[in-house]
Amino acid sequence: MLVFKFGGASVKDAEGIINLANVVSKYKNEQLLIVVSAMGKTTNALENLAKAYVNQSDDLHAIYEGIKRYHFEIMDLLFEQGHPVFDEVANTFVEIDWMIEDDPHDDFDFTYDQIVSVGELVSTRIVAAYLNQAGLKSQWIDVRGYIHTDNTYREGVVQWDKTRHSIQLGIPSQLERGFVVTQGFLGGTSENFTTTLGREGSDYTASIFAACLGAESVTTWKDVPGILNADPKLFEYTVKFDELTYTEAIEMTYYGATVIHPKTIKPLQNARIPLLVKPFNDPGAPGTIIKETANNVFEKPVIIIKQKQVLLSIATKDYSFVTENHLSDIFGRFAGHHIKINVMQTSALSFSVCFDYKEEYFGRLLEALNQKYRTKYNENLTLITVRHYTTGAIKELTADKTVLLEQISRNTAQLVLK
């Protein structure tokens, strides 16, 4: 039994969906569960829609109509008019129609998940319909009935026992009847509300299904030849890894490598299931395999760049030392506002942290911290993490930049730059 995951770039247009069908057609004799993300940049567009709805912006309906038009134009290229998928997709969008007719919910994160989740629900309807039209018997399933989470919207915490029971009870019999197509990124609460698992969480979805079903492998299909030592959009010369250990992959994703969602690896490592990262435009290429052991020689450092960073320094109001009690309180406030720390550094009188800027969270965090501490911060910074660094690489990456924070360990250097 195999699990495939196709990201938004793989299904951004009609050509991509046709290519997906060509890829999976080579696995007709396999039991195959297919996890699909929202199409193209739909998640970004739905995020804008959620913000427009909460702010009651004038462009709310224009954004919404653009999202619907994008999907229906793709369907026009794939199906004859009158195909049932047109009604299925229209009925799925009705979930947004109902929501935006009412006043916004007080909890933006709740609203976000109910709106943004429609991207995966629509894309999988289209993919499943096209696979069946192409003669590849496929069943659409709603992942929210299988992956169960708590009520932490935008960062749903998987309830593993309940999830494992649902998947093992319901999925094997469906796999015997053909391919199964489902949504990445989504989960469901006990109250039947939708949660999301964090941005780019479709990889995590695939690993959850694989771990629960004891899959032979997971393959995530990307627009790159495999896992590279750096982002090819930012660096002219990159090298591909043929294989990586689970440990190295976890380190890379923890520091922000976007090719795999950070939570993806652990369930696979626990179940000893390999993860393959392969190019969807060249399905015969070997890609990269992530497994327990690997023959890695790091000829070039691994470079991970995160933009839109905040460097926040926190000090006590009475100029006393920052103690363990203060740190415990500060960490609690970060956790309570769902902000993950990328780098931290302590001095006698201050505690400095670097993290992703998220407008809706940062303001609330700052307000909470200022009740007890003095704070100062810089925005629009860049965090560069270099695994297996060299002095030359660090010097090259920091040339003509101001280094605001530097942290170097045995294998990893992190630099916050302005």
Query: pLDDT at position 27, please?
Result: 96
The model's confidence at residue 338, banded by pLDDT at 50, 70 and 90, is confident
pLDDT average, residue stretch 379-405: 95
- Domains of the chain and any CATH numbers: 2-291 (3.40.1160.10), 302-417 (3.30.2130.10)
Query: pLDDT at position 171, please?
Result: 98
- Decide if pLDDT at 283 tops 90: yes
- Decide if pLDDT at 199 tops 90: no
Listed in sequence order, the residues at least 6 apart from 200 whose beta carbon sits closer than 8 Å to its beta carbon are 185, 258, 261
Query: pLDDT at position 406, please?
Result: 95
- Decide if pLDDT at 257 tops 90: no
Query: pLDDT at position 11, please?
Result: 97
Query: pLDDT at position 296, please?
Result: 75
Query: pLDDT at position 201, please?
Result: 87
- Decide if pLDDT at 174 tops 80: yes
pLDDT average, residue stretch 10-25: 97
**pTM, 2 dp:** 0.92
pLDDT average, residue stretch 359-373: 92
Looking at every residue in the chain, the average pLDDT score rounds to: 95
Query: pLDDT at position 359, please?
Result: 84
Query: pLDDT at position 86, please?
Result: 98
- Decide if pLDDT at 262 tops 90: no
- Decide if pLDDT at 149 tops 80: yes
- Decide if pLDDT at 362 tops 90: yes
Alpha-carbon span 36 to 8, nearest angstrom: 8
- Indicate the length of the chain as a whole number: 418
- Decide if pLDDT at 329 tops 80: yes
Q: With contact defined as beta carbons under 8 Å apart, do 73 and 13 qualify?
A: no
pLDDT average, residue stretch 136-153: 97
The model's confidence at residue 259, banded by pLDDT at 50, 70 and 90, is confident
Query: pLDDT at position 141, please?
Result: 98
pLDDT average, residue stretch 366-374: 95
Query: pLDDT at position 410, please?
Result: 92
Angstrom distances, CA of residue 403 to CA of 225, 230, 312, 385, 416 = 33, 20, 14, 13, 6
Q: Which tokens in the block code for residue 99?
A: 């929501």
Model confidence over 38-49: pLDDT tens digits?
999 999 999 999
Other Cβ atoms closer than 10 A to 349: 13
Query: pLDDT at position 291, please?
Result: 95
Query: pLDDT at position 157, please?
Result: 96
Model confidence over 75-124: pLDDT tens digits?
999 999 999 999 999 999 999 999 999 999 889 999 999 999 999 999 99
Query: pLDDT at position 301, please?
Result: 94
The model's confidence at residue 15, banded by pLDDT at 50, 70 and 90, is very high
Query: pLDDT at position 261, please?
Result: 86
Query: pLDDT at position 49, please?
Result: 97
Query: pLDDT at position 374, please?
Result: 96
The model's confidence at residue 240, banded by pLDDT at 50, 70 and 90, is very high
- Token look-up 């912006």 returns 57
